[in-house]
Every structure is written in structure tokens, then in C-alpha cells.
Amino acid sequence: MFQSRRDPLTRVSIRVNWQEPLPKVDRSSQRDCQLKQKRVAAAEEYTRKRLLLMDTDKNGKVPKQEFMSFMEAEFDRLDTKHDGELDVKELAKLRLRPYVGK
């Protein structure tokens, strides 16, 4: 059954079919969106924690010198043989996980 209604915002008459079923909501796309939001939030938290580790002057930014100092300290921590090179066993101890997102 069609019924004419006047839209109060646009002041245009529109015809509405009140018997037409409402479109179905795709629940899978809602879940996908929620999962994506959770992944983004987790990546942001992970990145924030890394920033706090690197940011020695606590200004919220990591300049090249702070980044290089952090990476040098990480390299030295992982280089258990103290030979100036990292092998597979030493790299396996690396606790930083890469973020793989979609």
C-alpha cells in the first residue's frame, strides 16, 4: 500500500510503500567492520607501546637519533654471541611482532 507523505525537511511529497519489507541487514559485514575496528585499535595500541619504548625525551615523537639508539640497543640485546651479527637463533628471540592487517 502506497501512501504519500510530506518530508518536513525538504518539503517534498514522497510515496512510501508501507508493505514493502525492510532491507535485510548484512550481519557478516557488521562483524567484519567490528573486527577491522578491533584490529586497528590493537595496532594503534601496539604502536603506542613501541613509541613509549623509543621516546626517551617523552615528547610524543621519535626523531631519527632516538630511533637509531633504540635499534642499536635492541641489536646489542639480541647479539648474544657479541660477534656483530645476528643469526637465526638470535633473531628467533626477537619479541617484536609485525602487524599484519587487512
H/E element holding 90?
Answer: helix 88-91
Q: Which grid cell is 8?
A: 518536513
- Residue 34: predicted pLDDT: 87
- pLDDT at residue number 83: 94
* CB contact at 8 A, 32 and 16: no
- Count of beta carbons in the 10 Å neighbourhood of residue 16: 11
pTM over cut 0.85: no
DSSP secondary structure string, 17-79? ETTSPPPPP-HHHHHHHHHHHHHHHHHHHHHHHHHHHH-TT-SS---HHHHHHHHHHHHHHH-
- Per-residue pLDDT at 8: 55
Which pLDDT score, from 0 to 100, does residue 64 have? Answer: 94
Would you list the domain boundaries of the chain? 47-83
pLDDT per residue as tens, the chain (102 positions): 445 555 555 555 555 555 556 666 667 778 888 888 999 898 888 888 888 888 888 888 889 999 999 889 888 988 989 999 999 888 887 765 554 444
**Is residue 38 within 8 Å of residue 31, measured between CB atoms?**
no
